[in-house]
Amino acid sequence: MSTSRVNILVGVATNALFVLGVQFAALITLAPSDFGLFSIQYLIAAFGNSLCMSLIAEAWIRREVSTQSRASWGQYSTVLVYLSGLMFVATLIVSLIIPALREIAVSGSAAVAASTIRTGSRYYSVRLGEKRNIIPGDVAGLLITILALGVLAVQAEIDLLQLNLAWAAGGIASVLASRPLALGRLRIVGQWFMEHKREVPPLLRDSIITDLGGIATPLLLAPVLGLNGFGIYRAVSNAAAPVRLAITPLRPIISAAKLSSHVSLSRVAILLVTATTTGAVVAVFLWAFAFIPMELGVLSSLADFSVAAGTFVVSSLLLHYYSIVARTHFSPTKLTTGRTVQLAASAVLPLLAGIYLDLNAAIWAYALATAISAAFWVVLAFIESSQRAIES
């Protein structure tokens, strides 16, 4: 195996372990209601990362693909720092409004801001092949998270505040071990959006539509399902976290590859086999918790939803992969079409099921909506590739 492939695999593994560390700790230590509270801040972090991709990272690489030129790290980093500051303030405001989140308002806001910076910084370094700025950040984040959880666990049983502190500590450590940040004047932000005025609007529109289904819909379900039900609903979504985390570090590589490579029969076959195998493993893993007498937080509540969770994981892998492809290669019209279908499925089906039926129905509706969205993205990718082949 070549050195570059080894570096890629190591990078994927360390990043997945770092991000999964916090999520797994939350799953096995927090009760469903506390996991629901944790998920509110985690969803804000997801929104911050989504904005980072649309406004900065993927706008940057989309411009590179189309014009063969890219902005400097000074410009990129400046916009990234200002965005992370906005996410800190937004998280703080939301956390102070919700009484149950006030205790973790500052630590959660710091964790969200750090997550935004690390997402953008890592993307830049992966694209440029800067190994010294990729793996050390993941390792530092993972080790500090584990160390913080260990120190806090010695003093008392892990609770929501302690988990939040560990999340923030790990995030800050990962930023400090990443590419050194550069902060310029605020006018650089305006210059950035002027230079990327063709790339940002379609990506931002795509992100907003996506986040309405993936972030706003779960939050709307919270009062319907209650904190306990909401915690379980979000835990099912986290079952696909390993899949998403295996793909996310490869975003710069996936985005830069030719569209034709993503619709080859061999690539589709590999993705289908990988998705099906992973989904089956997740389903069996969660089902096995029904026979474990030990209580492991919200994770123990997922045994009854193991098949739905496994089905969701299969669809989630395909959806995540081909939506990344679409954001670089699709025309704005096709991108909006795909996201509109995804929004319609992911918002309408779970909400109706949650309101008129129950938690189990909402989870199955979520899995079905993801499958519909994934299939539509795959079809659009084949259509786009065929049209380009005809035009050339």
The helix (H) or strand (E) run that includes residue 97 is helix 73-97
- Other C-beta atoms closer than 10 Å to the C-beta of 294 total 7
Of 228, 307, 220, the residue nearest 33 (C-alpha): 228
pLDDT, tens digit, for every residue of 173-198?
999 999 999 998 999 999 999 988 88
Task: Write the DSSP string, 107-162.
Answer: HHHHHHHHHHHHHHHHHHHHHHT-GGGTHHHHHHHHHHHHHHHHHHHHHS---HHH
The CA distance from 118 to 123, in Å, is: 8
* CA 192 and chain centroid, separation: 24
The CA distance from 300 to 295, in Å, is: 6
Spell out the residues 6+ positions from residue 124 whose beta carbon is closer than 8 angstroms to its own: 57, 60, 73, 76, 130, 179
pLDDT recorded at residue 328: 79
Query: Exposed/middle/buried for 131, CB within 10 Å: 0-12, 13-18, 19+?
Result: middle
Mean pLDDT (the chain) is: 86
Q: How confident is the model at residue 12 (pLDDT cuts 50, 70, 90)?
A: low
Q: pTM for the whole thing?
A: 0.77
The CA distance from 232 to 299, in Å, is: 8
Average pLDDT over residues 20-38: 83
Give the start-to-end residue ranges of the domains of the chain.
1-197, 199-392
pLDDT, tens digit, for every residue of 273-313?
999 998 999 899 888 877 877 677 777 788 889 999 999 99
pLDDT, tens digit, for every residue of 88-146?
999 999 999 999 999 999 999 999 999 999 999 999 998 888 878 888 888 899 899 88
Angle between helix 217-238 and helix 359-391 axes, rounded to 10 deg: 90
